[in-house]
Structure 1
Amino acid sequence: MPPAEPRSLSSLRAGVVGTGFVGVVHVHALRLLGVDVAGVVGSSPERAAAKGIAPVYDSLEELLADPSVDVVHLTTPNHLHHPQSKQVLEAGKHLVCEKPLAMTSEESAELVSVAESSGLVHCTNFNLRFFPLVHESRARIATGELGEIWNVHGGYLQDWLLYPTDWNWRLELEKGGALRAIGDIGSHWMDMAQFVSGQRIVEVCADLHTTIPVRRRPVGEVETFASADDVEREDAPMATEDLGHVLVRFDGGARGAFKVSQGAAGRKNFLHFEVDGSESALAWNAERHEELWLGRRDEPNELLQRNGALMQPSAAAHTFLPAGHAEGWVDTFRELYRSVYTAVAAGAPPEEPDYPTFLDGHRANVLGDAIAVSNAERRWVEVPT
């Protein structure tokens, strides 16, 4: 039988599971791309309907039974990713899953096996790779512009869990997992550092700390980044870290370090990296995402503003607005899904995906395991391959 003709992105249909903060962003980004959102599944049909973002399926089972749905997006709490991913893949649907891919590396390894044997397109939602100037950084390093890469350093700082009264389901061990700051935002930094440098992290030495050992948990549910000042509360002992510092070594010989914190006052979404090479350096941060700093010793430093006409072709392919017309965080979702849905339209994953797959999600879990062991045993730990 000859292969099926490629489809257009506008002919594809998606279903989104989860209608919290990130679920709403997925729906919006898909519509920016021109993909039809067939419907959403919430924690209850009533809560999903109250969001008013798309038609509502009563359950995941009902969504999976809809033959018109090509791709399912999972934006549910972490502990649901593993069972729901298996359910989606077994139903024959292509899949985008929010990170972490699973609660443990054993679970994520199983999902890699299931996904790869299915022949379906599978993606771990490391959307932050898709800031245009992050792709520009990767392209410049790949061409050898920086020379030999010596040092990759930076971090990810936020302040949304600064106060003892700040609350979110990610603070719950059984829903969020054993690593919080590392798993939630540190995973993004490690994925980006490896993506940009072209090198894998192979050793870690970590120091993690819980700054607020007991928080004041609302008796009811609170959505991510929502305020809940006038609610009844109860004490909730914490078992996960608020901040961490990690030394890293890369397989290409580079050294590095990063720090994470969800209690860094004034830092709203400060993901940042700097790469130092034998010829030059570059640096970028998500709070000034339209600028890429280029450092040199014997020439003036430069500040490259996002401008497709001045960027490497692989980076320019992910930017569309003229310079000075900001493309932001939501656009990274759109550009990630452009790559994913191009593969779906072709009918199967490419040999070398240009988007993060379940294997990337599994690698993040394996790195988390090594960081947890390093912190507990106060030593360097090799990352299993």
Structure 2
Amino acid sequence: MKPIKACIIGTGFVGLAHIEAVRRLGFVEVAALVEPDAKSAEVHARELGIPRWYTHYEEMLQDREIQVVHNCTPNHLHFPINREVILAGKHILSEKPLAISTQETRELLRLARENKVVHGVNFNYRQYPIIKQLAYMVQNGDLGKVHLLHGSYLQDWLLLETDYNWRLDPAVGGESRAVADIGSHWCDTVQYVTGQKITRVCADLATVLPVRIKPAQKKDTYERQAAAGEDTPEAEEAGEPVAVSTEDYASVLLQFDGGGKGAFTVSQVSAGRKNRLTFELAGSLKSAFWNQEEPEKLWVGHRDRPNEILLSDPALFAPEALSAPHYPGGHNEGWPDSLRNMMFHFYSFIREGKDPLQDKGDFATFADGHRSMCITDAVLASHRAGGWVEVHCD
């Protein structure tokens, strides 16, 4: 069977991660990439061993060999590119958020269904092995009725006033930042694990640094910043003050359609926290806690006997969770492996010729991306109103 041929649009941090994950599958070829700068596109294509490169995605869409497109561009480009990919009849895997408004995400979901293309959104945290096992445990009733769900997603990469990234500009990143960027992952993971959907929110948002210094030279996401007192090149020291309106922090009370209640906090200004997504489920029989930075461990809490630590081990997992782990216990699988699992399920769906209107795949779709944006919109509306707001997601 011929390999499925894919194109990656955008070769920043996440675009390169997509390329690496896809190549681990063995039945997909990264046949092309798209970057607006010709010199950069050529260099990346040569270094990565990708045979073709384009500077305009419209030109790439004329390439009949390309069957799947990965949209790894800044947020404001998700809608127009996703839309054109769908209309060109190619399958689409989009980075989150799916778009920057519910009007856009609703339109993309409609078009994807009408054109019967396979559509996915990269919510990869649901793909960790221990998360698959936990989802089975919840579904099997091991925790009892889950009544409390709480946690956080904390980072520090935007802690300093000199930290700057395109996500800070609402014209590029959207009206919401911390909630749309990392809160979306938290909400998707918890909803996936519990099978409960978020129906109401009450949110408090804050912009901790209302003015930041935009550097004269562009910096990549997660690029190393100079430490306090460290000498920097003169060009890097120059910059201009820029007003910031998007949130650095948010705390959100939640209600779920299964009767659960809870809360989460997101922050991109928490010193020492690099990528700490955590959540705890309190059930009528047991509790469970997971920390993404220690992804092989699941804490299980009991009332009447010692608590447990379940380690990721296929020998201990339910059959329903065995699609996720690929190594024996003790060989820890982390973020790159969760991304690989996302790609495997997405591309297997395509390889097996499944119908996106009839068949269910084990990956997040545009329907999940649309629901995520509905939650983000409700969070913003709640903060403005100062009270509870329903999540409307038609």
TM > 0.5 between the two? yes
Residue 38 in 1 paired to residue 31 in 2?
yes
1:49 to 23, 42, 47: 42
Amino acid in the other structure paired with 1:275: L
Aligned pairs for 1:85-104 within 5 A: 85-104=82-101
**For 1:340-351, what aligned pairs fall within 5 Å after superposition?**
340-347=346-353, 348-349=355-356, 350-351=358-359
- Paired residue for 1:246? 252
Q: 1:73, 1:96 within 8 Å by CA — same for their partners in 2?
A: yes
Within a 5 Å distance, the mapping from 1:66-215 to structure 2 comes to 66-215=63-212
Match of 1:376?
Answer: 384
Once residues 174 and 30 of structure 2 are traced to their aligned partners in structure 1, the CA distance between those partners, rounded to angstroms, is: 30
Preserved contact between residue 161 and residue 263 of structure 1 (Cα < 8 Å) = yes
Please tell me whether residue 14 in structure 1 is matched to residue 14 in structure 2.
no
1:54-92: per-residue Cα shift (whole Å, max 9, x none)?
Answer: 232232123212211111000000000000001101111
Contact 1:204 1:249 in 2 (8 A): yes
Contact 1:158 1:262 in 2 (8 A): yes
Q: Alpha-carbon deviation of 1:371?
A: 0.4
What residue number does 2:20 align with? 28
Cα deviations across residues 256-301 of structure 1 (Å, max 9, x unaligned)? 1000000111111100111010000111111100101111111211
Match 2:279 to one of 273, 277, 289: 273
Q: Secondary structure at the match of 2:6?
A: strand
For 1:358, the equivalent position in structure 2 comes to: 366
* 1:306 matched to 2:312: yes
Question: How many positions carry a matched residue from both structures?
Answer: 377
SS at match of 1:325: coil
SS in 1 for 2:383: helix
Secondary structure in structure 1 of the residue aligned to 2:315: helix
| Conserved? CA contact 2:36–2:55, under 8 Å | no
Could you say what secondary structure the match of 2:190 adopts?
Answer: helix
Distance in 2, matches of 1:292 and 1:49, equals 44
CA contact 1:309–1:316 (8 Å) conserved in 2: no
> Is the 1:160–1:268 Cα contact (8 Å) retained in structure 2?
yes
Q: Kindly indicate whether the alpha-carbon contact (under 8 Å) linking 1:222 and 1:228 is maintained by their aligned counterparts in 2.
A: no
Q: Does 1:62 align with 2:54?
A: no
Could you state the TM-score of these two structures normalised by the residue count of structure 2?
A: 0.93
- CA distance in structure 2 between the aligned counterparts of 1:210 and 1:315, rounded to whole angstroms: 40
Q: Which moved more, 1:238-247 or 1:34-43?
A: 34-43
Between 20-29 and 339-348, report the one with greater CA deviation.
339-348
Q: Percent identity?
A: 44
For residue 328 of structure 1, report the CA deviation from its aligned partner.
1.3
CA distance in 2, matches of 1:122, 1:200: 21
Kindly provide the CA deviation profile for residues 327-360 of structure 1, in whole angstroms up to 9, marking residues without a partner as x.
1101111101111111111233252232110010
Instruction: Quote the offset at 1:228 in angstroms.
Output: 5.3
Shifted more, 185-194 versus 345-354: the winner is 345-354
Indicate conservation of the 8 Å contact 1:207/1:244, yes or no. Answer: yes
SS at match of 1:287: coil
Partner of 1:85, secondary structure, is helix
Contact 1:205 1:248 (C-alpha < 8 Å) held by counterparts: yes
Is the Cα–Cα contact under 8 Å of residues 152 and 277 in structure 2 kept in the other structure?
Answer: yes
* 1:331 aligned onto 2:347: no
Distance 1:276 1:260 in 2: 20
User: Which digits, 9 at most, give the CA deviation of each residue in 1:127-175, with x for residues without a partner?
Assistant: 1111111111111000000111110110100011011111111111100
Q: Could you list the runs of 5+ residues in structure 1 that have no partner in the other structure?
A: 1-7
Corresponding residue for residue 288 of structure 1: 294
1:5 corresponds to which residue? Answer: none
> Aligned partners of 2:120 and 2:376: how far apart in 1?
19
Letter in 2 for 1:370: A
Q: Distance in 2 between matches of 1:183 and 1:47?
A: 29
For residue 43 of structure 1, what is the amino acid of its counterpart?
P
Paired letter, 1:341: Y
Cα distance between partner residues in 2 of 1:290 and 1:373: 37
- Report the AA paired with residue 286 of structure 1: Q
2:297 is matched by which residue type in structure 1? E
TM-score (normalizing by structure 1): 0.96
Partner deviation per Cα, 1:302-341 (whole Å, 9 max, x = no partner): 1111101101222221111111112110111110111111
One-letter identity of the residue aligned with 2:171: E
Local SS of the residue matching 1:376: helix
Instruction: Confirm or deny: 8 A CA contact 2:10 2:35 kept in the other structure.
Output: yes
Which deviations, in whole Å up to 9, do the C-alpha atoms of 1:205-248 show, x marking residues without a partner?
A: 00000001100001232110113553121001101000000000
List structure 1 runs of 4+ shifted beyond 6 angstroms: none
Aligned 8 A contact 1:16 1:23 in 2: yes
Tell me how far apart the structure 2 counterparts of residues 186 and 103 of structure 1 sit (CA, whole Å).
Answer: 14
